[in-house]
Amino acid sequence: MERGGPPGPGGGAERAPGGAALQGQPAGGCGPWEMRDRLGTGGFGNVCLYQHQDSGARVAIKSCRLELSVKNKDRWCHEIDIMKKLSHPNVVRACEVPEEMNFLVNDVPLLAMEYCSGGDLRKLLNKPENCCGLKESQILSLLSDIGSGIQYLHENRIIHRDLKPENIVLQDEGGKIVHKIIDLGYAKDLDQGSLCTSFVGTLQYLAPELFENKSYSVTVDYWSFGTMVFECVAGFRPFLHNLQPFTWHEKIKNKDPKHIFASEEMNGEVRFSTHLPQPHSLCGLIVEPMENWLQLMLNWDPQQRGGGLDPETSRPKCFLIMDHILNLKIVHILNMTSAKIVSFLLHPEESLHSLQIRIEFETGISTGNQELLLETGICLDPRKPASQCVIDGVRGWDSYMVYLFDKSKTVYDGPFASRSLSDCVNYIVQDSKIQLPIPQLRKVWAEAVHYVIGLKEDYSRLFQGQRAAMLSLLRYNANLIKMKNNMVSASQQLKAKLEFFHQSIRLDLERYSDQMAYGISSEKMLKAWKEMEEKASQCAQAEDIGYLDEQIMALHTEIVELQKSPYARRQGEVMESL
């Protein structure tokens, strides 16, 4: 049977009465520590959030809620021992138990852990907007964090054995969401023997050899990790997710090693696939390597799972492929003339011009007419490599975009690319009175929600692109006004110099006339002076730049009106994040 909810230090659970005490604590309470939330309940323990009344410090305290057998007392203490010796950013950190709580509950000590305020991964997956999986940026962040945490545990000869969304918590660290592994209550220290034959865990994420009570090794965590990542991509588990493990294991155990997905048709037939199901949020360039990675992680054979060790690096091949996925340099470009996103895998040291040639091939917009803008409205620098389109540490097309405009056009007539309804949603649209079984109805509902949310995100991205264009226009306008002011200043200086020159010429001509009365003259000099006077007069005619000032002011007025329009206002979260 599956255990109860997660005994983890993540937030987001029900509010407990202020000042409620730990079961079994001394009558005097926990001194300045006040219980604020009940974070989770597991097979043996409760996890509660305690906050210090004076300092505001918060800590997650795990206490035993049952009388334990000797074996389970050893397991409880073993978890505390494991937690205390681990130190990794993607494994929840054990803390010193506050002095006021340093007592036994049901004959076992308390476990103090860092408090993670973002709740657990299950809470995130259960949000309606994630019914067809998480965003690409969230998936890649999870892959990086939990992959790193699992490698750390295995390097320290520890198998977790109970990886599942409820045992992954989220922590906001400086505006970045960090995923952390919790609940090592079922972890097995390999120093106790590399193969183990006893297990109680969460069966839906359980590797087949554990389910069958066979011996196992670190590859059990690969299966659980692969199952979790698949669920984050698709919104459901990979193999007959509507069935209980006792049922689906029998139907899946003879699958091809490369099969990563199985669904049951209306007639009861099981359909296998080596590909990820649609819809999902991964861009096309990541899908194939992700499928290759999942094929290694979801191999039924524990000996083959993970791909074995790479002979050159002595690292499991699954983690090499994972690193390859995470290190891909992909630039995502929204073509504002068609509302279509095109993605390019950047070559090492690729120039911006090389990227623009590829963009021209995909979009038909010539390199000379391409205007590539960042979200801030700044143009890409042609002197810098194409990697300026990618921000280090920022992954996923939903988190960072470059906007493509066609300089030869001021109005985009389309046609704009639009989302199409999935077959199952379209089926319901055509016949809204049709009755479907609950699993199929849930699938239709999920894909309909995914479609509507996708439309909203498409709209927000187009708005963001228009805003980038407006910011660019404002920047150009500011530069234009600066240049105009410099030109006016220079014009006024030239005008003053020209007037001074005119006066000098007139004065020289007057003096020359006086000299002629005494017979002193030079026709050549007189001709040169008159030519200079004519040129000065011509310059005086060309020096009027007032009309430029008027045109620039008119343009500025139009831009101010554009800023005031509702179309220039930030729209939703995408706009507010700028």
Rounded to whole angstroms, the Cα distance separating 22 from 490 reads 79
Three-state SS annotation for 280-295: CCCCHHHHHHHHHHHH
**230-250 b/e with 16+ CB inside 10 Å = b?**
bbbbbbbbbbbbebebeebbe
Summarised one tens digit per residue, pLDDT across range 476-528 is 776 777 777 777 777 777 777 777 877 777 787 777 777 766 666 666 766 77
Query: What kind and span of H or E run contains 63?
Result: strand 58-64
Over residues 10-27, mean pLDDT = 44
Rounded to whole angstroms, the Cα distance separating 298 from 289 reads 14
- Annotated ligand binding at 62? The verdict is yes
Among 37, 35, 12, 36, which Cα is nearest to 117's? Answer: 12
Determine the distance from the C-alpha atom of residue 226 to the mean position of all C-alpha atoms in its chain, rounded to a whole number. Answer: 20
User: What is the predicted pLDDT for the residue at 30?
Assistant: 78
Cα 431 to Cα 407, 426, 444: the distances in Å are: 46, 9, 13
Over residues 361-379, mean pLDDT = 91
162 is catalytic: yes
Give residue 124's pLDDT band: very low, low, confident or very high (50, 70, 90).
Answer: very high
Whether the pLDDT of residue 25 is over 50: the answer is no
DSSP assigned state of 557:
H
Going along the chain from its start, the domains and CATH numbers come out as: 1-117 (1.10.510.10), 118-325 (1.10.510.10), 329-406 (3.10.20.90), 442-576 (1.20.1270.250)
DSSP class per residue in 422-491: -HHHHHHHH-TT----HHHHHHHHHHHHHHHHHHHHHHHHHHHHHHHHHHHHHHHHHHHHHHHHHHHHHH
Which entry of 37, 162, 221, 406 is annotated as an active-site residue?
162
Determine the distance from the C-alpha atom of residue 73 to the mean position of all C-alpha atoms in its chain, rounded to a whole number. Answer: 41
Residues in the chain: 578
Question: Considering only 133-147, 253-267, 387-401, 550-564, which range has the smallest mean pLDDT?
Answer: 550-564
User: Encoding tokens for residue 312?
Assistant: 């050159």
Which pairs with CB-CB distance under 8 Å and at least 24 residues apart come from 473-480? 473/377, 473/559, 473/562, 474/377, 474/559, 474/563, 475/377, 475/378, 477/555, 477/556, 477/559, 480/552, 480/555
User: Encoding tokens for residue 297?
Assistant: 């992680």
Rounded to whole angstroms, the Cα distance separating 325 from 103 reads 47
Whether the bond into 279 is cis, omega within 30 of 0: yes
Cα 279 to Cα 295, 404, 421: the distances in Å are: 19, 26, 11
Average per-residue pLDDT in the chain?
A: 81
Q: Which residue has the tokens 């505390």?
A: 80
The dihedral through the CA atoms of 301, 217, 242, 119 has a sign that is: negative
Question: Considering only 210-219, 274-283, 313-322, 497-506, which range has the smallest mean pLDDT?
Answer: 497-506
Give residue 540's pLDDT band: very low, low, confident or very high (50, 70, 90).
Answer: low
DSSP assigned state of 339:
T
Whether the pLDDT of residue 291 is over 90: the answer is yes
Among 322, 230, 288, 285, which Cα is nearest to 396's? Answer: 285
Bigger pLDDT: 270 vs 67: 270
Bigger pLDDT: 407 vs 142: 142
Query: Is the Cβ–Cβ distance between 179 and 148 less than 8 Å?
Result: no
Q: What are phi and psi of 304, to 5 degrees?
A: -90, -20
Determine the distance from the C-alpha atom of residue 346 to the mean position of all C-alpha atoms in its chain, rounded to a whole number. Answer: 19
Q: Tell me the sheet residues that pair with 406.
A: 370
Rounded to whole angstroms, the Cα distance separating 189 from 210 reads 16
Query: Is the Cβ–Cβ distance between 369 and 408 less than 8 Å?
Result: yes
Summarised one tens digit per residue, pLDDT across range 34-61 is 888 888 776 677 888 888 888 888 988 8
User: What is the predicted pLDDT for the residue at 200?
Assistant: 44
pTM: 0.81
Bigger pLDDT: 291 vs 510: 291
How many degrees, rounded to 5, is the angle at CA 343 between CA 349 and CA 473? 85
User: What is the predicted pLDDT for the residue at 196?
Assistant: 41
Summarised one tens digit per residue, pLDDT across range 421-463 is 888 788 787 877 788 778 788 888 888 888 888 888 888 888 8
